[in-house]
Amino acid sequence: MAKALIKRSILPKAFCLEVRKKIEESSGAAGGSGVNASATELNSSMTSSSSYYQSSSMHASLHIENEMTESLEKMSHEDHSLFSQNHDSQLLQWFNRRPEDWAFSLGSGASTIFGWGHNHRGQLGGLDGSRIKIPTPCEALSMLRPIQIVGGEQTLYAVTHDGKVYATGYGAGGRLGIGGTDSVAVPTLIESLQHVFIKKVAVNSGGKHCLALSSDHEVFSWGEGEDGKLGHGNRDSYDRPKLIEALSGLGVADIACGSAHSAAITSEGHLLSWGKGRYGRLGHGDSEDQLKPKVIETLLGYRVIDVACGSGDAQTLCITDDDNVWSFGDGDYGKLGRGGSDGCKIPMKIESLAGLGVIKVECGSQ
């Protein structure tokens, strides 16, 4: 589908049929009159919800799936003449930057999930055995049809289409968020979040704490609180999600976790960081720990659109909407990307990436 948008070629037939089938199903579920009605509604939505979409009329006569053939006229969302290449570029950028926004809202998600590797703590969510040597279907996870799966230090978290969060694996330090420190070998609902619609969970692969972002732009944290990485103004650990009050009202749009620090981006593009300050990984110009979220002042004149936090002797990366990538923190092994191994305590541009249209950053430990 992406290739068709980029090359302006005919959209894949199988994809178009599947979309039309979904439209028909959603119309039927809502008590509509079939494909015609819901297709018209889709047309109206696509042409009027955004100012850059041009208005158009619906001419296609649609039938049920077994009557859909190549002779049918294109529906508006299938017609390249109605949408410019710039529009499609915006869609692809959106899809890459915020894939969670694109989860189909009518109950779909991953249908079959496979797991393999170390399972000593039950972190593969219901598979039997401490070592899974080949990809194996995980029925317990698959039944949840999650829109996001993310793993921490011997833990796994799944977010479902209806905003619920499930955790499985090692429970030390309260990192699962289900209360207590017991480990669990099957996906278990984080009950204290069940009345909050969660859009995204962030955890570092080497991390013992988690962040969760709600649809109301609130952020919750739980797990090990050493270094102040939970953002509650202390170094306490919490075995259940707790609202980060310092972020309330700021309109948080994205979150990220390192092993010992955390970050959040607001809807205005401000970047905040907190937790362990060693090596300058927080970007505040020093190596002090921050027990509450603090705005990175160096970036106040820019709009941050993505952030990633590393582990170990950590670094942080971020992207600003002027097409620049920035890095700060520990510089060993050249992981800050500016040549050499010098670290820095405030964000600095990676000049070799400027203007390349970078859309996503990630960090390992080194």
Tokens representing 257 are 């976790």
pTM of the model: 0.74
Residue 3 in 3-state DSSP? helix
Phi, psi of 241 (to 5 degrees): -55, 135
Determine the pLDDT at residue 71: 43
Between CA 304 and CA 85 the distance in angstroms is: 25
Determine the pLDDT at residue 19: 86
Rg (CA), the chain: 23
pLDDT averaged over consecutive 10-residue blocks of the chain (366 residues)?
A: 88 88 75 46 42 35 43 75 88 78 56 93 94 96 93 95 95 96 96 95 94 97 97 98 98 97 97 97 98 98 97 95 97 96 97 96 94
Residue 105 backbone zone (phi > 0: left; psi -120 to 50: alpha; other: beta)? alpha
Beta bridge partners of 201: 212
In sequence order, what DSSP letters do the residues of 10-71 get, joined into one string? PPPHHHHHHHHHHHHHHHHHTT--SHHHHHHHHHHHHHHSSTTSPP---------GGG--TT
Determine the pLDDT at residue 27: 73
Between CA 40 and CA 34 the distance in angstroms is: 10
Residue of 189, 183, 180, 115 lying closest to 151 (CA atoms): 115
Q: CB of 201 within 8 A of CB of 159?
A: yes
Expressed in percent and rounded to 5, the helix, strand and coil fractions of the chain are 25, 30, 45
Determine the pLDDT at residue 354: 97
| 129 C-beta neighbours (distance < 10 Å), count | 10
Beta bridge partners of 188: 167
Kindly give the pairing relationship between strand 219-223 and strand 238-243: antiparallel
Between CA 344 and CA 342 the distance in angstroms is: 7
Determine the pLDDT at residue 104: 52
Determine the pLDDT at residue 72: 57
Q: CB of 286 within 8 A of CB of 329?
A: no
Between CA 231 and CA 242 the distance in angstroms is: 10
Q: What is the pLDDT of residues 91-107, one digit of tens each?
A: 888 887 776 666 554 44
Residue 132 in 3-state DSSP? strand
Determine the pLDDT at residue 333: 96
